[in-house]
Structure 1
Amino acid sequence: RLAIGVEPPDFTVVFIPDTQFMVMNNGYSGAWLDQWIAQADWVVDKQHELNIAAVVHVGDVVEEAHRSWEWDNFFQGWDKIEATGIPWSIVPGNHDLTSMAQPFASNRWDDYNKFIAPAFQRNLHLQSSFPQGKYENSVVFFEAAGLEFMVVGIELGPTQQSLDWASEQLHRHPGRRAIVNNHFVVWGAERGIDVVGWAKRHRNIFMIQQGHDCAREWNRVIYNDWGEPIQEILTDYQCSGDAFLRYYTFRVSEGRVDAFTFSPSQNRFETDFNSQWHFDFNFGDLPARTDPAARNRYRRAAGVGGGGGGGG
């Protein structure tokens, strides 16, 4: 906690969307490896200026998970980010599957784990992963401005066991504000998987971040079972060749979070309403998870902005 009378500093969380085309380095969709290296260099260069507290990769790290040279290209950039000591999270996307033809096979993350495991094993901010010794699901802690956060990384099309594990992590740390990192929340909906519905049952979740979709970006507010807002956000610029990333600057003294979309390789911001906006944020103590008064407020407001079950 900060000392009484000390003005809390602003801080930033950076989200890196699908890097798959950039690490192929063949110009597909206008993407090249130097764009990914520029993103990584930007994180390193801005670490102190923006007070970067965490870096989150939303999945589709590579185009074909078995290609070791794509992982080598990825780590040309990621090793730079890792060397800063900034807490980080990565989740697998559909292109990180061992076989996209068998997306729910028991060995579906074998290639992902083969290449990503050494980085996670060095990750000093990793608190837990599931299954044990594998990294398709993970929890990473970070702290900023006297506040405690956790990034809950959930595999694409999670099993019920994975969601139960994630629930346990959230229940163990009710005072940590939580970001859910999942490549695409509606993946597996036909199998009864409902990541958004699951998230609404956890009071400390304030953001769901995903990628995957060449729609590029959108954001909406959904509400948890206490009637409190969760920011559901999609960010993915892989198909446009301009190598944008997304970052959020938390303005503690102003009670809000500002969203920015920036391309390091082009040195420009995107400023339309889906790219640059802000939302209010509660920097005070989190209410108890089972606060009956809050539940009553939610019941009285039933039907107001409940949101749907997934992304578009």
Structure 2
Amino acid sequence: MLFSALLLVSACSPRLQQATFVLLPDTQTYAEKFPEILEAQVNWVAEEAANINLVLQQGDLTQNNNDLEWQRVQSAFKRLKGKVPYVLAVGNHDMGSAPGKFADVRNTELFNKYFPYQIMATLPAFGGVYEANKLDNAYYLLETGKHKWLVLTLEFGPREKVIAWANEVVTKHQDRTVIVNTHAYMYSDSTRQTDKDYWRAQGYGIGKDTGPDAVNDGEQLWKKLVKKHPNIRFVFSGHVLNTGVGTLVSINDAGLPVYQMLANYQEGVQGSVKGGNGWLRILKLDFKNNSISVQTYSPYLKEYRQDEAHNFKIEHALLKPGKKK
């Protein structure tokens, strides 16, 4: 009930024309080696809950998909219950036939054990799932002031049948601005992932599946889902190494801009320290002035990144759902 109250307060506050989302990418190294950094991130979110509308996590919650790491992740996110809504994604490190097997098969038993449908479905903003009792593909409905949102969180390498389901969900909610949250979509050169890039879902064991179970990369997801709907306006992802960041604005079939962002700070990303040193992203949407500001902050270090790739503003953004021409 507390989250419902928060929504009501938000709807009556002077901040009607603003929304703040926190992106919490690939926490895998924290779960494996530095749980205190994940705790610092989540504690900061809990402390700032009155100023945050939503937390979006982009997958690879764990490094080795084992019970110890899942216990650490579960313990951290429990602190947000009743304070701020959060949405999780499944990454390639969160699935497999056994701990340490990364997406060789589409098995997410431990993810669904530690974040069970029976509990997650009772939280305010929860909308529904693709598969019964599984959180791998789910949608959430919330409001920030007068602005209505649909958040779709999709599995690593979304299957053909999952994309078909996602199209149906978006079509039923044309009055809502849609955010797609998924593990792999953008590449570090600020383009969508294609067959020319590393770390595509097709390169893992699940990539061998065919027919309705065939996986899709970023470019395929764009063509089959994102660009087709006037109200899908944001896509957030992680997964990719190199610089770990990328930003792309593309025009959909309705002539509206779609804001696509990659952020990843895990071990293996250039310059990474302690698996990312707690860097997270803060997105502030200003509906009155049509702008999107992006800041990168570490609650662990208690400092902001100042370089342009991590601290920037998009002016003249079109943030309303829009209608088909």
Shorter-chain TM-score: what band?
Answer: 0.7 to 0.9
Amino acid across the alignment from 1:109? T
Name 1:212's counterpart in structure 2. Answer: 239
- In the superposition, the TM-score normalised over structure 1's length comes to 0.82
- In the superposition, the TM-score normalised over structure 2's length comes to 0.79
Name 1:278's counterpart in structure 2. Answer: 313
Name 2:278's counterpart in structure 1. Answer: 243
Q: Distance in 2 between matches of 1:109 and 1:77?
A: 19
Moved more, 89-98 or 273-282: 273-282
Q: Distance in 1 between matches of 2:227 and 2:135?
A: 24
1:220, 1:232 within 8 Å by CA — same for their partners in 2? yes
Name 1:175's counterpart in structure 2. Answer: 175
Amino acid across the alignment from 1:232? Q
1:137 equivalenced with 2:137 (yes/no): yes
Q: Alpha-carbon deviation of 1:233?
A: 0.7
1:80 equivalenced with 2:79 (yes/no): yes
Provide the secondary structure at the position in 1 that maps to 2:62: coil
2:256, 2:318 within 8 Å by CA — same for their partners in 1? no
* Cα distance change on mapping 1:115 and 1:8 into 2, 3 Å: closer
Q: Distance in 2 between matches of 1:121 and 1:219?
A: 32
Q: Alpha-carbon deviation of 1:87?
A: 2.1
Of 190, 196, 199, the residue aligned with 2:222 is 196
Amino acid across the alignment from 1:159? R
Q: Alpha-carbon deviation of 1:266?
A: 0.4
Q: How does 1:264-303 map to 2 (within 5 A)?
A: 264-279=299-314, 280-284=316-320, 286-289=321-324, 291=325
Q: Distance in 1 between matches of 2:183 and 2:25?
A: 9
Q: Distance in 1 between matches of 2:93 and 2:309?
A: 25
Name 1:17's counterpart in structure 2. Answer: 25
1:262 equivalenced with 2:297 (yes/no): yes
Deviations 1:165-219 (A, max 9, x none): 1111100000110110010024335756211222111111111100112232111
Q: Distance in 2 between matches of 1:73 and 1:103?
A: 21
Moved more, 109-118 or 266-275: 109-118
Q: Distance in 2 between matches of 1:41 and 1:192?
A: 36
Name 2:151's counterpart in structure 1. Answer: 151
1:234 equivalenced with 2:262 (yes/no): yes
Q: Distance in 2 between matches of 1:3 and 1:102?
A: 42
1:102, 1:108 within 8 Å by CA — same for their partners in 2? no
Moved more, 263-272 or 8-17: 8-17
Provide the secondary structure at the position in 2 that maps to 1:83: coil
Deviations 1:85-136 (A, max 9, x none): x22211100000123757363x522232222215523422110111122110
Q: Distance in 2 between matches of 1:192 and 1:211?
A: 17
Q: Distance in 1 between matches of 2:144 and 2:29?
A: 32
Q: Alpha-carbon deviation of 1:143?
A: 0.8
Name 2:16's counterpart in structure 1. Answer: 8
Q: Distance in 2 between matches of 1:196 and 1:219?
A: 15
1:61, 1:93 within 8 Å by CA — same for their partners in 2? yes
RMSD of equivalent CA atoms:
2.3
Q: Alpha-carbon deviation of 1:3?
A: 9.4
Name 1:109's counterpart in structure 2. Answer: 108
Name 1:43's counterpart in structure 2. Answer: 45
Q: Distance in 1 between matches of 2:175 and 2:104?
A: 34
Report the identity percentage: 23
Provide the secondary structure at the position in 2 that maps to 1:8: helix
2:64, 2:101 within 8 Å by CA — same for their partners in 1? no
Q: Distance in 1 between matches of 2:164 and 2:311?
A: 34
Q: Distance in 2 between matches of 1:3 and 1:259?
A: 23
Amino acid across the alignment from 2:111? Y
User: For this pair of structures, how many residues does the alignment match?
Assistant: 277
1:87, 1:141 within 8 Å by CA — same for their partners in 2? no
Moved more, 182-191 or 144-153: 182-191
Amino acid across the alignment from 1:87? P
